[in-house]
Amino acid sequence: MRVTSKVPGKCILFGEHAVVYGFPSISMAIPLNSTCIVEENKLNSIELNFKTINKKYEGSNLVDIEQKIPSNYSQFILGLNSLGNKFDIEIKDIRIELSSDIIPNAGLGSSASTSIALISAVSEFYGLNLKKADIFNFALEMEKITHGNPSGIDHTTCLYGNILFYQKGKPFHIVYPPDDFQVLITYTNQEHDTKEVISNVKRLKDEKSHLFDSIVDKIGFYTEIAELELVSGNYEEVGKLMNFNQDLLSQLNVSNETIDKINEIALKNGAYGSKLTGAGLGGCVITLGEEKELKKIAKIFKSQGYWNFLTTQDKNGAIATK
C-alpha cells in the first residue's frame, strides 16, 4: 500500500507576532506543497528520506533513526513516536519520503506543512482515521521543537486551506474576498530563526510592556478592519492597512534593511501595500496591488535576484490519498 499526502504552505496577511498573544490574524494558504509518501518497506527496516535535501536515514526501529538524525529533524521522530504511543502501534517496516516546494525558514509555513503531511500520511497508512483537529494537535506538538511557542495559525491554515481569520483559543472562520485577490510573495534571500525572533519579541514585551501592548493592540485593530475591507474588495484600503501593519512590526524590531528595501521598491512602483510575512528578520515579503503593477514589480525583483511568485489562495488544505 502507498499513501500520499499533500499540504499547502501559508503566508500571513495581517497580525504576525500579535497572534501569539491572543490578537486576531489573517492568513492565506498558498499553492506550494509539502508531500509525504508512506509505503511498506519489505527490507524489515524504517527508512526516512528527506528528498528535498537528499538526506536518508535508516534503522530497524525509531530509536535507531533517532540516534542518527540531526536534532533539527527531531520533530518528525517526535510525531511518529506520539502516534505510536497514542494508538499502541509499532511503527516499523515502512518507507517515508518527505519533500517540499516551500522555502524553509522563510515565513511560508514549511515546518507546519511538512509536519501535517507526515501525520496525515501515516494516519492514512495505518487507518487511524484522525480528524483534522487531532492532526492539528499532533503537528502543533511537533512544531514546539522548532518554534517554541507557536500560535497555531500556521497549522490551521495549512490544514484547512483558504484565507482564515484566526485568533488563538477561538474558532477560526474563512474569509471570502473577491476571486481576483492575489499577492506577490518575494523572498529576501535571508533565512530567519522563528524561535529566536519570537524570543526577541517576548523580551521586548517583558522589558517595555506598555510599548509592546500598544503595538500589538494596534496590530489587532488593523487586522479586524482589514477583514472587512478584504471581503469588500477594497484592495487600496487593504494595502494601506498592510503598510500600517508593517510600521508596527518595525517597532517590534522584526523588520530589517532588506525587507524595507523590497517594500520601498514595491510602493514606488504602484503597489497598494507591502509588508513582511511571518516572523521577520528575513523570510518573505507580501505585496498587494493591481495585477499589471504586481507583474512589473515581480520583474524588477527578479532582475535584482529576488525569487518571487504571484499567487492566489489554496482552497484544498491537507489531502491524503491511497
Catalytic residues: 154
Determine phi and psi for 26, rounding to 5 degrees.
Answer: -125, 125
Q: How far apart (Å, rounded) are the C-alpha atoms in residues 126 and 135?
A: 14
Strand partners, 33: 8
Grid cell at residue 187: 523572498
Grid cell, residue 297, equals 514589480
Q: How far is CA 95 from CA 1, 39, 289, in A?
A: 11, 5, 45
What is the H or E stretch that residue 303 is in? helix 291-303
Contact by Cβ (8 Å): 113, 102: yes
Question: What is the residue type of 287?
Answer: T
How far out from the chain centre does Cα 232 lie?
26
